[in-house]
Structure 1
């Protein structure tokens, strides 16, 4: 393979690896988008005649065990005046939902042990499950309109997310608030109070700390890779030396056998080419014999 073809193959390989990393990085968000669509359909299927201001638990199939979902329908005017609190979310008054609709539905999610399947933060460890809340428009015909999400305009205090049951972490590591946006981006923000994060929009949230374990594992992997390369290189050198020694031994054995066979016949002189000893046959020309003169006269 010439240099140009090799370069083309190498470039193609690098491109495929890059595209593979992009697909892998975006897969979790595509998966969560599919989950969100499924949850919306499940809400409308299960809640036929919803009452305003009532929280409903949504039952999910067994293959989603560990995920918890609750929904509530509110009047937009009442939501602006009073706000709403549920579990770890506290949405204060004077939050304006957009677009302007008479009713709205808020869907709360606790992804539980599925959190790392749908979301991840490279080089960080999640201390809590991923919690999310999403607002949708609502009407008499549709409890939850999954075709129209709502945004929040905060005119007063921010939304507060109070995390409880935080997992163990190193004492020197202060947890960091993380928001996962709909477009897959990750936003970091410091806590305002211990285990309290402030939010200015809907989305999915969790607490993280630097993953020292992952870092040490990467270091061990790199050391193991270097050690393996060194051992492999030394082994290759030893193998080459052994092969060379075997070839030389085979050559010497063949020469000795040839010399022993020659001892039973006409002896040969020998000569050397480099380190190889070869037989040398003496050149003896047969003496010519003169014809009988009498035979020439017939």
Structure 2
């Protein structure tokens, strides 16, 4: 899915024809100036808003290394703005706001605050509500929660790229009652990535995007097939992260298909129903070195 973002940026200027041209040609984006700040409006596809923003940071760094993303602009809108963007009357919008129409899809979003004497809302939240009544305008934006996460991560992502390191995307092998345990693996790994040489080691797996690294967080009962499903078609390989029986952290380089240098798990006697725990036993028994890339194919 494609997501639309409005970033507050620094390092570029609307009078810089080269930068403006790159933004338009490479990103189909628009750079504008509002009072003392520059705004960058562009869209990107991803598994979610955070993943799309993650991709944008990498692409922008490659094309415009001088540009710095400061934060997301909340794109606050009032009743008149909503009416203009949707092509509806102010009265119609007020009926939505006051719960007089289309209540079957849930209440209209809470306002973000006031501007002067008028209420204002985050456009992304309004547009998400509009999508539920079939009135979505353009691409969706980041939810409030996703926007907070993106704003928090922007400095870290950009600092990693400035240091020549990839920025890491954490995903769960699946979502169920063990989701908190997988999130715990991600938190544990985030706390160790600063260890000297660790990020270089786990990012050594050949992949098209050297500046992005996906880590699939799993628990021992998870099937390897579920892990493979989390590896996108444009990713040669990822890092599988999980904790063992004694809560020790394990990192393995894996691919969803056969690639040069990777050993198929079928050669290790692991079938379609094999789990992460089964893989750990094979490694513990010495059938394969922990540093050997593995292809999760039968």
- Regarding TM over 0.5, the answer is no
Say which structure is richer in strand.
1
What's the TM-score, normalizing by structure 2?
0.24
Larger Rg: 1
